[in-house]
Amino acid sequence: MRDDLPSPARPLKIGTRGSPLALWQAHEVRRCLGQAFGLTEAAFEIVVIKVMGDQIQDKALREIGGKGLFTREIEEALLDGGIDIAVHSMKDMPTVQPEGLVLDCYLPREDVRDAFVSPTVPSLSALPQGAVVGSSSLRRRAQLALRRPDLKLVEFRGNVQTRMRKLEDGVAHATFLAMAGLNRLGMASVARGPIDVEEMLPAVAQGAIGVERRSSDARVAGLLAAIHHGETGLRLAAERSFLARLDGSCETPIAGLAVIEGDALWLRGELLRPDGSASVTGELRGQVADGAQLGRTLADELLGRAGPGFFG
Ligand SMILES: NCc1[nH]cc(CCC(=O)O)c1CC(=O)O
């Protein structure tokens, strides 16, 4: 193994998108591997890869459609050997990986909650009647429309700075961002605070970073095993099997969250109509090791209650 470690002469190539959050995540994986194996930064090379989802800024992503808008080019680089590992926000990852790739390494999960962000309004419940909220997340839009049909929703994309500028310009009174991203970028102060998961159930895998590799690469598998966080993996196994059973895509508003309490895993899920006119929620508890099965069972239960044509 020692002979196989990355070195400045043969660096491990880490593929990532170029956004500030993506770069932070890639640096964090480098830091964890460096610490686990006593390697300096020179033993790694960060390779920034442009993805389709970053190049289109003027449209809601669901209008462009298709899964993997943030991952396809990175996975192609992994498959053709241009990079050795790929670092992803698990929230943006399709539930099925391309032939030849595996995703079984997760860093410890950050805060899973959404943040309420507004220059003028102190909290979600303090939003006045008819206030304008910016979000392009189908889940957040549907959750808000369900609970607060009086609010006006407008599309909102771009990085944190762009969104803050739009708020300052009065384009909307408030927006939502993941606490995880804000915490990682040292920007938690832009948030008024986290929203309880009881009030807004987060996206499946929110706050989790995953590292993908080639299935055939035993050397890299050994490196990644040393930094894998087991509890995060068990939680994501449940959440992602829930999502996979629902065939969750960018067009379906779905929320899901698993937490581990001792030997028990507690999975909550929510399906919404995109216009927020209806939702079905449910929860299941079971053994930690049965997470994937719990996810499928909860998905089937919610789909049964939703009935055909629920998503419209
Ligand atoms: N869809 C974009 C995206 N993917 C991951 C995060 C945040 C970090 C995370 O959930 O790990 C964000 C931005 C946001 O929702 O605010």
> What is the per-residue pLDDT across 222-247, written as a single tens digit (0 to 9) for each?
999 999 999 999 999 999 999 999 97
> How far apart, in Å, are the Cα atoms of 63 and each of 67, 250, 274?
12, 9, 14
Task: Report pLDDT digits (tens) over 41-53.
Answer: 999 999 999 988 7
d(CA 59, CA 250): 14
Token pair for 52: 């389709």
Domain boundaries, the chain: 2-108+207-228, 114-194, 241-305
Task: Report pLDDT digits (tens) over 51-103.
Answer: 887 776 665 556 555 667 789 999 999 999 999 999 999 999 999 999 999 99
pLDDT of 312: 67
The Å distance, Cα 258 to ligand 1 centre, comes to 18
pLDDT of 63: 58
Is pLDDT of 159 > 90?
no
Q: Is 241-305 the same fold as 114-194?
A: no
Mean predicted confidence (pLDDT) in 203-216: 98
Sign of the Cα torsion 209, 212, 218, 220 reads negative
**ipTM value of the model?**
0.95
User: Can you tell me which atom of ligand 1 is nearest the CA of 115?
Assistant: 16
**Catalytic residue IDs:** 92
Query: Helix 291-306 to helix 230-245 angle, to the nearest 10 degrees?
Result: 30
User: Can you tell me which atom of ligand 1 is nearest the CA of 209?
Assistant: 11
The Å distance, Cα 138 to ligand 1 centre, comes to 13
Nearest CA to ligand 1 atom 1: 92
Mean predicted confidence (pLDDT) in 179-192: 96
pLDDT of 69: 79
What's the fold here for domain 114-194? Answer: D-Maltodextrin-Binding Protein; domain 2 (3.40.190)
d(CA 263, CA 261): 6
Is this prediction's pTM over 0.90?
A: yes
The Å distance, Cα 21 to ligand 1 centre, comes to 9
The radius of gyration of the chain from alpha carbons, rounded to an integer in Å, stands at: 20
Mean pLDDT, all residues of the chain = 93
CATH 3.30.70.360, applies to 241-305: no
The ligand 1 site (C-beta within 6 Å) comprises 89, 91-92, 177-178, 180-181, 206-207
If one residue of 21, 69, 250 were mutated to test the ligand 1 pocket, choosing by the most ligand atoms within 8 A of its CB, it would be 21
The Å distance, Cα 89 to ligand 1 centre, comes to 7
Q: How confident is the model at residue 220 (pLDDT cuts 50, 70, 90)?
A: very high
User: Can you tell me which atom of ligand 1 is nearest the CA of 110?
Assistant: 11
pLDDT of 59: 59
* Superfamily the domain 2-108+207-228 falls into: Periplasmic binding protein-like II (3.40.190.10)
d(CA 146, CA 72): 33
